[in-house]
A and B are shown apart, each in its own frame.
Chain A
Amino acid sequence: MKFAKTTMAIATAIAAVGISAQAHAGATFDNVVSKGFVQCGVSDGLPGFSYTDSSGKYLGIDVDVCRAVAAAVLGDANKVRFSPLTAKERFTALQSGEIDILSRNTTWTSSRDAGMGLNFAGVTYYDGQGFLVSKRLGVKSAKELDGASVCIQSGTTTELNLSDYFRANGMKFTPINYDKSDETVKALEAGRCDVLTSDQSQLYAQRIKLAKPGDYVVLPEVISKEPLGPVVRQGDDEWFHVVRWSLFAMINAEELGVTSKNVEEQAKSSTKPDVRRLLGAEGEYGKDLKIGKDWAVQIIKQVGNYGEMFERNVGAGSALKIERGQNALWNKGGLQYAPPVR
């Protein structure tokens, strides 16, 4: 009796462990198709990138990247479930398979790409680190910040860049770390710190959250390169390609003048070979990715091209009013460039 119980317990334990063992290439893709939705790790509330509106709907650039992938793979941009994650939680959530894509204003670095078992699928937003200070301090440049207390979100590249910048300029600082970006904003407002540092896009977003945004100013210095993009697990090439090309499809669409308004018409009647290939009128490019022929049409129809996504979430059509700048297309003086579909 006792023996039977012990054996059963051991067998159960082994079975339970066995389930989580060994992922094969393409596991995430198959898994997403069979469960019928994409599990997407996003930020815990950052206007313009990932936040919820009054009805609880997720909005933002990072959110739209996941919606684009869902549109390409499942044909419906709404088949996404979101997991809000703090900066500290995000990589573990992806490594452990809790989420399928990490789209959470995450900076592409060599150690993350090569050392953590992750792959960056592209760049959704070219960012750089900056400083937000109260106007009352009368600081005009980051070089005047010697001795300041600086609020930072812990577990970010921001934390490392900050140290580098102050060390390089021979200045001292006191780091005040919090897990959530909201907490850093509250601490700045209360005066726990003099300066808040983060990616510039975030600074604009966080400034909106302050009671008196006009009392705070973003300093001109940009102290780092922060290419932000979606991340997937390493060794899962099919899924990696789908995510990467969903993003490229949006950038290509903007370059070719395909928008959510005209995409269906263009798919039928366009004579430009580039457009016809992107929209599946010519060739079998969806098949290479193991998804439908109209994958790009679904993305652009439901989510929009890169330009539309940018303007709606962080650009002129949003409260943030961020300029395209580095995020303009390559032929308009920016860095956004996608390899061709062919």
Chain B
Amino acid sequence: MQTTASVPPARGSALTDPKIRGWAFQILAVVAVSGLGWYLFQNTQTNLAQRGITSGFSFLNNSAGFGILQSLIDYNQSDSYSRVFLVGLLNTLLVSVLGIFFATLLGFILGVSRLSHNWLVSRLATVYIETFRNIPPLLQIFFWYFAVLRAMPSPRDSITFFESAFINIRGLYLPGPHGTDAYPAFIASLAIAVVASFVIGHWARVRREATGQPFPVLATVVGLFVLLPAATTVALGNPFSWSFPELRGFNFVGGLVVIPELVAITLALSLYTAAFIAEIVRSGIQAVSHGQTEAALSLGLRPRLNLRLVVIPQAMRVIIPPLTSQYLNLVKNSSLAAAIGYPDLVALFAGTVLNQTGQAIETIAITMSVYLAISLSISVLMNWYNKRIALVER
């Protein structure tokens, strides 16, 4: 077959053809990188075998044999290392979620306060931001844990609230709820309230866009969330029975305990990250040109509506991408919890399990991939949200 006819005559030799050369080098690079990866893998395997170090992931099924301070799921010493992994992961996620929640709340309040026309409020916000974002997070964790929470009294001299909540050096002891027979119905009523809120919100928006008539969505939703659960409680009885903490022997038994390690890490990370989020919020709001506000006011919108309908939606577009990085930082910083003995993934899995099994490569690889997975999930979620609120050009 003759194909040369379709090739332009000016092409010259294959050696100097930029297209072929480009491909050749890319293939070469891929081969070299995968070759290096393979070599590293083989080298590690050989060395581990030669030094008699056990490798592989079968250790995950072995029984752990040690106790854990805080576990969100049932755990006892005879459970396996994979259970320990799960306990650690959940503890890390708990700190991350609490930290992100409080940091966002505080960060938005501070960011708006810094722009306040009230001299005192804006200066206080400035002082806060400049203090907290300029002290390393590890020191802040130490401050809360060793300086503040270590000063709490012993269990026998606990600070008591209404004979049912106690604060001492071992933690914050609260009455803990246990579900009764009415509990499923109670949860179902909450679920109905959630669904109904979405439906009403959607309907109200569609109606407003069509007719311009506003609807008191917020009041309706609050009403739903109060009335529905209240109705089930009246009809079926109390959904919770409460167990109260009581001092028995060395410690308080029963109820719910929030350990000081969790308080310290959550406080430190929220306060630290909030300072950064405040600056992001401020920059976002300032990025919306003042002309937008003037236009809104001249259309007759009140300042509050102007903020909610004009400024914040536009500011969010500037805020979300750097906010994502702050969330990622918070999740990664949560590994500092290991320094005060909070049983997070790093302390439990990359620490104790690594040490008890001696399988450093496997445990570290698993831990790193988990952080990668958490961070990527947050990125995906935030990017999705960012896309949703992005400027729609018509």
Question: B250 touching A6 by the CB < 8 A rule?
Answer: no
Out of A23, A112, A148, A183, name the residue touching B358 (CB < 8 Å).
Answer: A112
Shortest distance from the beta carbon of A267 to any chain B beta carbon, whole Å: 38
Residues of A within 8 A of B32 (CB): 6, 10
A22 touches B66 (CB 8 A): no
Q: A6-B32, A190-B150, A194-B250 are in contact. Are A163 and B170 (CB under 8 A)?
A: no
Q: Is B67 touching A173 in the complex (CB atoms < 8 A)?
A: yes
- A17–B39 Cα gap in the complex (Å)? 9
Measured between beta carbons, the chain A residues less than 8 angstroms from B53 are: 95, 115-117
Contact pick for A147, options B77, B169, B249, B341, CB 8 Å: B249
Question: How far, in angstroms, from A149 to B253 measured CA to CA in the complex?
Answer: 12
| Option from A13, A175, A191 in Cβ contact (under 8 Å) with B66 | A175
Interface size class of A (residues with CB under 8 A): 35 or more
A303 on the interface (CB 8 Å rule)? no
CA distance A111 to B169 in the complex (A): 37
A235 touches B50 (CB 8 A): yes
List residues 183-224 of chain A with CB under 8 A from any CB of chain B. Answer: 183, 190-192, 194
A194–B46 Cα gap in the complex (Å)? 47
A192 touches B249 (CB 8 A): no
Tell me the complex Cα distance, A131–B67, Å.
17
- Partner of A179 from the list B69, B77, B338 (CB cut-off 8 Å) is B338
**CB under 8 Å from chain A, chain B span 3-51:** 25, 28-29, 32, 36, 39-40, 43, 46-48, 50-51
A88 at the binding interface (Cβ < 8 Å)? yes
Q: Determine whether the beta carbon of A14 is less than 8 Å from that of B36.
A: yes
B352 within 8 A of A: yes
Q: Across the interface, do A149 and B51 meet the contact criterion of CB distance under 8 Å?
A: no
A87–B347 Cα distance when bound, in Å, is 13
CA distance A183 to B347 in the complex (A): 15
Alpha-carbon distance A14/B68, docked complex (angstroms)? 42
- Are B251 and A147 closer than 8 Å at their CB atoms? yes
Given A163-B65, A176-B341, A177-B69, decide whether A147 and B248 contact each other with a Cβ distance below 8 A: yes
Cβ-based interface call for B131 (8 A) = no
* Most B CB within 10 A of own CB, among A179, A192, A233: A192
Q: Which residues of B contact A194 (CB under 8 A)?
A: 250-251
Candidates B170, B347, B356, B358; contact of A177 at CB < 8 Å:
B347
Contact check, B65 vs A88: say whether CB atoms are below 8 A apart: no
* CB <8 Å contact, B51 and A23: yes
Q: Write out the residue numbers on chain A whose beta carbons fall within 8 Å of the beta carbon of B351.
A: 88, 154-155, 179
Does chain A have a CB within 8 A of B376?
A: no
Task: Give Cα A286 to B74, complex, Å.
Answer: 58
Interface range for B: 35 or more
Report the number of A-B residue pairs with Cβ-Cβ less than 8 Å.
Answer: 134
Q: Is the CB of A154 within 8 A of B352?
A: yes
Does A174 lie at the interface of the complex (its beta carbon under 8 Å from any beta carbon of B)? yes
Contact with A along B244-277 (1 / 0, CB 8 A): 0000111101000000100000000000000000
A191 vs B155: C-alpha distance in the bound complex, in angstroms?
Answer: 9
B residues 61-87 near A (Cβ < 8 Å) are 65-69, 77-78
The answer to whether B39 touches A14 (Cβ under 8 A) is yes
Contact check, B352 vs A159: say whether CB atoms are below 8 A apart. yes
Considering the chains assembled together, what is the distance between the CA atoms of A224 and B71 in angstroms?
A: 27
What is the bound-complex CA distance between A164 and B248, given in angstroms? 23
Q: Decide if B358 touches A91 in the complex (CB within 8 Å).
A: yes
The reply to whether A191 and B347 form a contact with Cβ atoms under 8 Å apart is no
Residue B220 lies at the interface, judged by CB distance under 8 Å to chain A: no
- Whose C-beta in chain A lies nearest to the C-beta of B59? A115
Residues from chain A with a CB closer than 8 A to the CB of B341 are 154, 176-179, 183
Residue of A whose beta carbon sits closest to that of B62: A111
Tell me the nearest residue of chain A to B364, going by C-beta.
A92
Chain B residues whose CB sits within 8 angstroms of the CB of A6 once the complex forms:
25, 28-29, 32
Q: Is B109 an interface residue (CB 8 A)?
A: no
Is there a chain B Cβ closer than 8 Å to A162's Cβ? yes
Given A3-B25, A116-B53, A191-B154, A149 and B251 contact (CB-CB distance below 8 Å): yes
Interface 0/1 of B326-355, CB less than 8 Å to A: 000000000000110101000100011011
Residues of B within 8 A of A234 (CB): 51-52
A118 to chain B, nearest CB (A): 8
Closest B residue to A183 using CB positions: B341
Contacts of B289 in A (CB 8 A): none
B180, CB-defined interface residue at 8 Å: no
Binary contact track B77-107/A, C-beta < 8 Å → 1, others 0:
1100000000000000000000000000000
Is B380's beta carbon under 8 Å from chain A? no
By the criterion CB–CB under 8 Å, are A147 and B352 in contact? no
| A30 at interface by CB-CB < 8 Å | no
Q: Which residue of B lies closest to A193 (CB)?
A: B170
Q: From A96, which residue of chain B is reached at the shortest CB distance?
A: B360
Say yes or no: is B54 at the interface (Cβ < 8 Å to chain A).
yes
Known contacts A17-B43, A146-B249, A149-B170; is-contact A154 B67 (Cβ 8 Å): no
**Contact status A175-B250, CB under 8 Å:** no
Asked whether, in the complex, the Cβ of A88 is within 8 Å of the Cβ of B150, the reply is: no
A90 to B337, CA, bound (A): 21
| Interface: A167 (CB within 8 A) | yes
9 contacts between A and B (CB under 8 A): A6-B28, A10-B32, A23-B47, A88-B354, A115-B357, A117-B52, A154-B347, A163-B67, A163-B77
Measured CB to CB, the residues of B under 8 A from A are 25, 28-29, 32, 36, 39-40, 43, 46-48, 50-54, 65-69, 77-78, 150, 154-155, 169-170, 248-251, 253, 260, 338-339, 341, 343, 347, 351-352, 354-358, 360
Please give 13 more A-B residue pairs, beta carbons under 8 A apart, in addition to A10-B32, A166-B67.
A6-B32, A14-B39, A23-B51, A95-B53, A95-B360, A112-B358, A114-B52, A115-B53, A117-B358, A145-B250, A147-B250, A167-B77, A190-B150
Which 6 A-B residue pairs are closest in the complex by CB-CB distance? A155-B355, A116-B358, A117-B53, A175-B67, A117-B51, A163-B77
